[in-house]
Amino acid sequence: MIKKDFFPNKAALVTLVAACLVVIISLGIRQTFGLFFFDFEVDLGCTQTDFGFAMGIQLLFWGLLGPIFGIVTDKYGGKIAVFTGFLFYIAGVYFLNYGPNTGSWFTFDIGILIGIGLGATAISIPVSIVAKHFPLNTRTIATGIVTSAGSFGYFVSPMYTRYTLMEYGWNTTLVIFLFMLMAGLLISLFLSTPTQELKHENYNKQTAMEAMKEAFTNKSFNYLTLGFFVCGWHIALVATHIPMHIRDKGLEDWTATAILALIGLFNVFGTLSSGYLSTKISKKKLLSAIYLLRGVSLMYFVFMPPSVVNALIFGITFGYLWLATVPPTNGIVGHIFGTKYITLLYGFVFLSHQIGSFLGAYLGGLFHDLYGSLNYAWYISIALSLFAGLIHLPIKEKAIERPQIA
């Protein structure tokens, strides 16, 4: 239960609510693109490799633009960054629907334009904006609330998207998405960004370049960045290719929708739990446990006989761990470096996440077209779980001590 003094001020409350709504819209729409593949295959001549590459480009641009929008947020405020992101997101969905939208234009629309939009509207920027409003002892809970809101979007969006795809077709579904994105555009105006660090933290007089240099020469930051690469691989592979994998295993198409919905539902509980536990136990040990448990969930899904029950168990277990990495990851960045440049620095950590996402989405499609299944991609995913479980352990969860200049 949230205490009455949980919110430092009214701006923190309004920003938290607005950030939650932003990620519900942005991530909710993003989660459903895999369900469009079979329509795109028929109407736009899109192969699995083409689709995987376009989605990989989307995820890569999402990551590449994260640090840039982070600079915009730290300098001009979060509302400017998120508003701009929604404009790109709207443009991408508009051209995907009304054309040009075949060949390289397909990659430009769903990959580059929507990817740029996600760079500002999806998880990294809203989470970091909220983090600036809260002190260290409640920061991971606040960011966990935002992340779990995105999970709610993950939960509801596959169900209504499958319904509208079946009843009205993919064009009308994208029109509905456009109205949702325009609502997000208006909601972004309610985001606010503190102009100074919280009073209880040592005031940071660094420039952005000094902050980046400090971070990239810090081993703990680099370990954290490498670990988040794995998170990106996992999420992109599942979100992009689970519909095809389910069809390959001879299961009904609705099973993929159920998996994505369950991932969203149980991620609500997972991220809230992760945000709370991050205030009670070591964040690096929590991250290590999350990645190792992902490996267990993947092994169960890959090596057990294909069935609806096993697929749903995977959706529940992997969903609980889906974005549970975000609160402790963001929390470690803020703990070590403070909040002045947390949006920028977390943007670089998230860029690693999106490089992993690009490879997970693209190589998953490529492996499927080459070998007729996603097996090799799943095997790599399991190995990466072990790697991530180990790479977080050397992290030192200690704030950097900087000389104070009078």
Phi and psi at residue 191, in whole multiples of 5°? -75, 140
3-class state of residue 45 by DSSP: coil
Q: Which CATH number is 305's domain given?
A: 1.20.1250.20
Q: Classify residue 139: in a domain, yes or no.
A: yes
Say what the pLDDT of residue 19 is.
93
118: pLDDT strictly greater than 90: yes
Helix (H) or strand (E) holding 336: helix 326-337
Answer whether 260's CB lies under 8 Å from 158's CB. yes
Give the mean pLDDT of the chain.
88
Q: Classify residue 402: in a domain, yes or no.
A: no
The string of pLDDT tens digits covering residues 356-392 is 988 998 899 899 989 888 999 999 999 999 999 999 9
Q: Classify residue 347: in a domain, yes or no.
A: yes
Hunting for tokens 């539902």 — which residue is that? 265
Q: Which of 226, 257, 230 is nearest to 31 (CA)?
A: 257
Mean pLDDT of 16-39: 90
CA distance 24 to 18: 10
Q: Which amino acid is at 12?
A: A
Answer whether 125's CB lies under 8 Å from 73's CB. yes
Domain that holds residue 246: 13-196+208-391
Instruction: Please list, in sequence order, all residues whose beta carbon lies within 8 angstroms of the beta carbon of residue 309, skipping any fewer than 6 positions away.
Output: none
What is the DSSP track for 347-381? Answer: HHHHHHHHHHHHHHHHHHHHHHHHHSSSHHHHHHH
Q: For residue 78, with 0-12 CB atoms within 10 Å meaning exposed, 13-18 middle and 19 or more buried, which class applies? A: buried
Global pTM value:
0.78
Answer whether 53's CB lies under 8 Å from 362's CB. yes
Domain count, the chain: 1
Confidence of residue 106 (pLDDT cuts 50, 70, 90): very high
Q: Classify residue 401: in a domain, yes or no.
A: no
Answer whether 218's CB lies under 8 Å from 224's CB. no
CA distance 239 to 272: 21
Q: Classify residue 98: in a domain, yes or no.
A: yes
Q: Classify residue 201: in a domain, yes or no.
A: no
Q: Which of 136, 157, 140, 137 is nearest to 23 (CA)?
A: 157
Q: Classify residue 267: in a domain, yes or no.
A: yes
Q: Which of 349, 370, 361, 65 is nearest to 212 (CA)?
A: 349
Q: Which amino acid is at 343?
A: T
Instruction: Please list, in sequence order, all residues whose beta carbon lies within 8 angstroms of the beta carbon of residue 207, skipping any fewer than 6 positions away.
Output: none
Highest mean pLDDT range out of 15-24, 155-164, 240-249, 269-278? Answer: 15-24
Q: Classify residue 29: in a domain, yes or no.
A: yes
Answer whether 392's CB lies under 8 Å from 279's CB. no
How far from chain centre, in Å, is Cα 205? 30
How far from chain centre, in Å, is Cα 283? 19
142: pLDDT strictly greater than 70: yes
Answer whether 324's CB lies under 8 Å from 273's CB. yes
Phi and psi at residue 253, in whole multiples of 5°? -60, -30
